[in-house]
Structure 1
Amino acid sequence: MSESQFVSLPVSSGVSSQNAEIISANQPKTRRPRSSPGLYLIKTGSAYMFQMRLPKAIAGEVKRPIRVGLGVIPKPQARKIADKLATIAREKFERIEIAMSKANNDENGFWPLMEDMLGGDVDGLDEEAKGKRAWQAVTMSLKSALYDISSPPPPSTAEEEGNFAMMRGLVQIAQEKARKDAGEDYNKALGDNAELLARRLVERAKDDPVSLLMPPLGGGSIGKGKISARAGLVNAKVKTEVDKDRRFVEREPSDKPLFSIAASEYLAQRVTAMGEASGDIKTAEMRLNIFVELIGDHPIDRYTPTDLQAFINLMQFWPSKHNDKPSHLSAREIIDSNRDFSKKSIAKNTLQNGFMGVIKPVFSNAATQHDFDNPVKNVALKYPKAARDAVSAEPLSAKKLTQLFRTGVQSPYIDDVMMPLLGLLTSRRLGLLTHLVGTDITEKFDGIWVAEVEGIAMVGGKWVRRPIKTTESGRYFVLHNFLVEIGYVEWARKQGDNFLFPQLMQLANPAKNASKYMRRLFDKAGIKDSPGERFHSLRGDYISQAREDKKIGERERRMQAGHALGGDDHNKYGWKTLTESEAEMFATLPLNPKIDFSMFRDLDFDQLAKTRRRPEDL
């Protein structure tokens, strides 16, 4: 690995250039002036900063030096810290250079080493991108090392050392037991008596952990003392960076905007794309404000992956129900009230796709707008087991579908009556069906009616935006002939540029309220024993029924359901929408004879659409 002896001296604003004379790992022969801080150091006001450049072999086009703030400390202390950081940096440089020089099929594992050093998937990156990754990897390593240097842990007590010894003993026992189970050579004294020895070791640590520091009896065999794992588990609960209150963690100065400003800019772009009244925007605002309340409002480029992990660790205690999150309590008070999980926990999907799905884009958007390296790019986060897994939708029996339809038809509201039937006969999402207008429905082929929902549509004489989840959702889908037979298609066409569910569309968040009303309808129909039986089940039932028709292939089912075309590249060629013959198969798909559909005939759709919900039904 090579480094140039002399380097250029550009520095960021606020850093004195006269003190940034050299940042090379090789000391020049010329004498430095007495006022110079020394190698790898510059001074900004009264504070010192470590500074070093990446070697050319791994830097690519990256000219930006690595800088780590040391704070206001005595010069001798800054000098010692700088020397230690330089040693760590050179070791990192060497490892990265070795990784970059190896072939993809190298038996020592080129890609795993690169991804370990540089973070995330590096396959396909050019040299400049790899240089940026290298800069990020070394910078984060030095910041972590600085914390260890500045705040070394206190020496362990005899009791703590005893606990460590207990844990080492348990690991040794487990290893011999694993070798035995795998059919390998093993220590019979340990492997054959693993459970008994572990239990004794744990009890011994409980009664007298210091005794574990005594030499083992019998020339290396484990003694007969009592042991307990509880002492070791207590010792394992040592606070780390992720456990700190991230609101008050010291961060380096920055000229980049605060997270709150960057988040507001991001939301403004979404408002432009989706419309200010979108419920998604309000949900995003709520989630981003919770992040700021828990982690703090810092310069956008001064966050680290640790901040995101700390947020997730806190949010595992976030209650799942709205009533358990009173507005007069702060976010931390709400979390503290549920540390025993008595109010249930947030779903993993909500954390992973809901909260992180809006927090991470703020960083990526700001990195582009304000020219800095995204500090949380490609970060791998761990989600606690306490976070509930998503409940998969389950199929509904013909008996339950009949119960659901009958309960809906007895309602005076058109969404209760028609939404379940549309869900079953179209396989489309509830949010999309909620935003249907009469002009969406057209006769695409002779006798075959379809609906096509565009993102921008004329509604009531005004152009409005409608939330379309994916590009595929905007493709037309076939309406079953049964909807034509009962007169629904004719009635829907007469509504022109008005919504087909007008009462829902007068609410602040139509799709969210539609989901709430559907859950009530399922409960009223007696379908409430399994959380997997819900409106989304109707979509799955339709797709499953279409799968049973051997003439309808997977590609056609995906287009009708609004899914992306899967499979290989060959499968993605051809029309991106259903052809006439394909559409005809969906329009005439046989109805399940076990379900009573006759109740949908002779309905007064005009009266149903006019009926407003009573206050008690809202």
Structure 2
Amino acid sequence: MTREILSASLKALAAEIEGIAKRDRYLLFMAPSAAEIPEIDGDGASENDRGVAYLMRSERAAALQKRRNLKDMRGRLEKIGAAMAEDKVAWEAERGTYESVVRILGSLERSAEPAAVAVTVATAEPEQETETDVRAFKPSTLLSVAGRAILDARKAAVNPDDKDATRYEERLETAFAAFLEIVGDKPLTYYLPIHMQDFATFLARVPKNRSKIAIFKGLTLRQIVEKNAALPLDQREPCLAETTIASYLSEVKNIWSRVAGSVPGLKDMGAYRVTLPKNTAASIDREPIAVPSLNIWLKDAATPKLMKKPHKAWLPLAGLLTGMRLAELIYLQGSDIVNVEGNEVIDLTRPLLMGGQMIDRPVKTKTSKRYVAIHPLLNEVGFIEYAKGVKSPDGFVFGHFHRADDPPDAAQKQMSNWMNALDIHETQRQVFHSLRHSAKDWFRDHVGERLADKQCGHAFSGVSANYGAKLLKPKEVRKIMAMPAPEGVDFSAFTFGRR
């Protein structure tokens, strides 16, 4: 054994000691912490909870034992290195030390666990440490932790001014919180596809609009379900419909698919076919408002009593003749009525002027930013003149509703109460939004599907339909302006009052 070999052996020992330190840090990171292991004291823990806790404790105990072995090995190697360094003075001492090292390392290899790497004195190479993202979740990670990372990453990518994106983000948050409460916040390995069925079965008993019902304020979902079930049958609040439950399931599957993408071995909950409970409320499709009901509504709106509240009286007529959503009407400003290439239109591509600052207009979808053709009837009955001349803070045509915290919601409630008073309201079927369905039929019948979509701000269907101008062209505006009045609708109360 030469002096060069001895020097190389000392370097190899130093590298192996550093490798042991790295493996120790890796074990520390990968082993479940005591806080991650679920409590199973008492009789409330399920058999599955106990099994998960047992596996996590076993994994933690094994990791701790490996760390103790590594610590012991490191100490003995450090002693060997110190001995070799001290005996470098003489050749005989160096050879004797080397032979001693070989004997000790032989005993170490026989006693260490297979997971510990054997030391090769002259040729050992340091193990490269793999850098790990803190979001490299393990099967023992709680769903709340892994799911939170997914939601936070999405939130960071979303433009805060993109209302459509933030609304979807809120739905994700709501669905995720509901799943954690109903199924439970467990390690990722706990979840099975059948938990999606458990989730859906429970949701079918959850009252809709629960956040707006006083008796449910401050209660958990389970408490809300129990309280609603305890009410007399005729006083119980209606529960979530099929489409809402399907939406919750879709959002949770979306989050789970992203979590499972980075943790091998998790169950596929997305493919599970959920069976909705027999008594789940069927989804109700809104319908165009019946012409007799519409005539009752317009006649009442044109009365002198109602016209003293123009913010209320003009809404049904404006909704019918423009096809605009209620929220779009509520955020309409007089300055939005502009001349584009010789045609007067409502320009919903413009930002809003509020408090002296320009802000992005709140819209439901990207296609909602559009031109809306102004039918001559809107001028004939006096709405356009009213809209241009209204005096209100920030120039909102329906500024009265902006005194409320949620202007569209305040308008929706007032319209609903008004329709109920006239006995023309039918839950979800005949509502203010039904005017938009009536308008869509009117536009479709006279100018076709594409112009009806442009006027109402609906997305085009298919690749071919998405080619061409997205905003109404001057010729298309004139086509809409030339349409005959909606068949059977009586505007005489407005036109007579105008005369």
TM-score interval w.r.t. the shorter chain? 0.5 to 0.7
Q: Partner residue of 1:597? A: 491
Is 1:514 aligned with 2:407?
no
- Residues 122-271 of structure 1 mapped to structure 2, 5 A cutoff: 252-253=140-141, 257=145, 259=147, 263=151, 266=154
Q: Find the residue that maps to 2:284 and give its secondary structure.
A: coil
Is 1:392 aligned with 2:289?
no
Cα distance in 2 for residues equivalent to 1:12 and 1:388:
56
Q: Which of 336, 347, 357 is residue 226 of structure 2 equivalent to?
A: 336
Q: 1:479 to 1:281 in 2, by over 3 A?
A: farther
Deviations 1:333-389 (A, max 9, x none): 222344589423211222223x45655565578789xx6689878545525143322
Cα distance in 2 for residues equivalent to 1:517 and 1:488:
20
Q: Which of 158, 178, 182 is residue 294 of structure 1 equivalent to?
A: 182
Q: Partner residue of 1:346? A: 240
TM-score of the pair, normalised by structure 2: 0.61
Cα distance in 2 for residues equivalent to 1:326 and 1:483:
44
Deviations 1:547-577 (A, max 9, x none): 332xx2221111112111225x443332222
Q: Which runs of 5+ in 1 are unaligned?
A: 1-9, 18-41, 47-68, 75-249, 605-618
Q: Partner residue of 1:581? A: 475
Q: Partner residue of 2:102? A: none
Q: 1:557 to 1:291 in 2, by over 3 A?
A: same
Residue pair 1:438, 1:492 contacting (<8 A) in 2 also: yes
Larger RCO (CA within 8 A; separation ≥ 6): 2
Deviations 1:263-298 (A, max 9, x none): 46655766813479x888777765554443333445
Residue pair 2:370, 2:454 contacting (<8 A) in 1 also: yes
Q: Partner residue of 1:418? A: 314
Residue pair 2:178, 2:221 contacting (<8 A) in 1 also: yes
Residue pair 2:140, 2:189 contacting (<8 A) in 1 also: no
Shift of 1:316: 0.8
Shift of 1:527: 0.4
Q: Partner residue of 2:294? A: 401
Q: Which of 502, 505, 513 is residue 399 of structure 2 equivalent to?
A: 502
Is 1:492 aligned with 2:384?
no
Q: 1:408 to 1:44 in 2, by over 3 A?
A: closer
Q: Partner residue of 1:543? A: 440
Deviations 1:72-105 (A, max 9, x none): 569xxxxxxxxxxxxxxxxxxxxxxxxxxxxxxx
Q: 1:471 to 1:464 in 2, by over 3 A?
A: same
Residue pair 1:504, 1:513 contacting (<8 A) in 2 also: yes
Shift of 1:469: 1.4
Cα distance in 2 for residues equivalent to 1:301 and 1:463:
50
Cα distance in 2 for residues equivalent to 1:281 and 1:414:
36
Q: Name the aligned partner's letter for residue 439 of structure 1.
A: S
Q: Which of 205, 214, 227 is residue 317 of structure 1 equivalent to?
A: 205
Q: Which of 454, 463, 468 is residue 559 of structure 1 equivalent to?
A: 454
Q: Which of 386, 410, 431 is residue 534 of structure 1 equivalent to?
A: 431
Q: Partner residue of 2:85? A: none
Q: Partner residue of 2:359? A: 464
Q: Name the aligned partner's letter for residue 575 of structure 1.
A: A
Q: 1:585 to 1:319 in 2, by over 3 A?
A: same
Higher Rg of the two aligned structures: 2
Residue pair 1:315, 1:335 contacting (<8 A) in 2 also: no
Cα distance in 2 for residues equivalent to 1:600 and 1:305:
59
Q: How many residues align?
A: 367
Q: Could you tell which deviates more after superposition, 485-494 or 388-397? A: 485-494
Shift of 1:476: 1.2
Shift of 1:406: 2.4
Q: Name the aligned partner's letter for residue 548 of structure 1.
A: D
Q: Name the aligned partner's letter for residue 207 of structure 2.
A: P
Cα distance in 1 for residues equivalent to 2:163 and 2:480:
34
TM-score of the pair, normalised by structure 1: 0.50
Q: Which of 321, 327, 339 is residue 443 of structure 1 equivalent to?
A: 339
Cα distance in 2 for residues equivalent to 1:367 and 1:279:
24
Q: 1:45 to 1:377 in 2, by over 3 A?
A: closer
Q: Which runs of 5+ in 2 are unaligned?
A: 1-21, 35-53, 60-137
Q: Partner residue of 1:432? A: 328
Residue pair 1:437, 1:495 contacting (<8 A) in 2 also: no
Q: Name the aligned partner's letter for residue 385 of structure 2.
A: E
Q: Find the residue that maps to 1:472 and give its secondary structure.
A: helix
Q: Find the residue that maps to 2:338 and give its secondary structure.
A: strand
Cα distance in 2 for residues equivalent to 1:286 and 1:253:
21
Cα distance in 1 for residues equivalent to 2:445 and 2:496:
31
Shift of 1:319: 1.6
Q: 1:336 to 1:460 in 2, by over 3 A?
A: same
Q: Name the aligned partner's letter for residue 424 of structure 1.
A: L
| Structure with greater helix percent | 2
Residue pair 1:14, 1:44 contacting (<8 A) in 2 also: no
Residue pair 2:341, 2:474 contacting (<8 A) in 1 also: yes
